[in-house]
Amino acid sequence: MELPPPPPGLTAESSIRIDGDGRFWHDGQLVEHAGLAAAFASWLAVEPATGRYVLRNAVNWCYVTVERTPFVVRAVTEHAGGGLELTLSDGTREPLDTATLRLGDDDVPECRVKDSRFPARFSPTAAYALLEHARPCGDGDGDGFVVELGGELVPLVRRPS
């Protein structure tokens, strides 16, 4: 859905940003109110025309700056069936979509979240929990890694540039 233009005399630009740890900031101040941060996270969208991140609710919208990825995986837990559940920076939990698992910049694991609408980067703690399930594939000469989840071997490949 295309966004309407901002009202006359106003801009769609904002000082709201999401830092590398998935936290919201406004006017240089950390958004500490949990309800407001949760609302911001639920309003996050991508404007189809420009590919820019926006906060959009029923009343208004504005652009938001994202430093790395809009969401950060904070924790990884194994569930009984052998799959992994992710806890995201907005406090929500969802199963890992293994088809989207990749190595991103600096060999940090990434995946897609929120029905594959957004990229998420793993925090160091979450990356360690994920990599506990990894092992080298091939002969060990730079062939990469696989993550073993519930008997499934998921290649851990680098994201294309």
57 plus 132 within the same structural domain: no
The type of residue at 78 is: E
Q: What is the pTM of this model?
A: 0.84
63-97: per-residue pLDDT in tens? 999 999 999 999 999 887 778 999 999 999 999 99
Residue 151: which residues within 8 A CB-CB, separation 6 or more? Answer: 82
8 pLDDT more than 70:
no
Share of the chain above pLDDT 90, in %: 57
Q: Are residues 53 and 75 in the same domain?
A: no
Number of folded domains that form the chain: 2
**Do 60 and 93 fall into the same domain?**
no
CA 7 to chain centre: 31
Domain that holds residue 25: 17-66
pLDDT, tens only, 15-51:
999 999 999 999 999 999 999 999 999 999 998 888 9
pLDDT of residue 152: 82
- Judge if 77 and 132 occupy the same domain: yes
In a domain, 141, yes or no: yes
Whether 3 maps to a domain, the answer reads no
Residues 43 and 76 occupy one common structural domain: no
The DSSP code for 43 is: H
Whether residue 124 sits in one domain with residue 58: no
pLDDT band at 112 (very low <50, low <70, confident <90, very high): very high
Pair (61, 89) in one structural domain: no
* 161 falls within a domain: no
Structural tokens at position 29: 């101040």
What are the tokens at 67? 């430093």
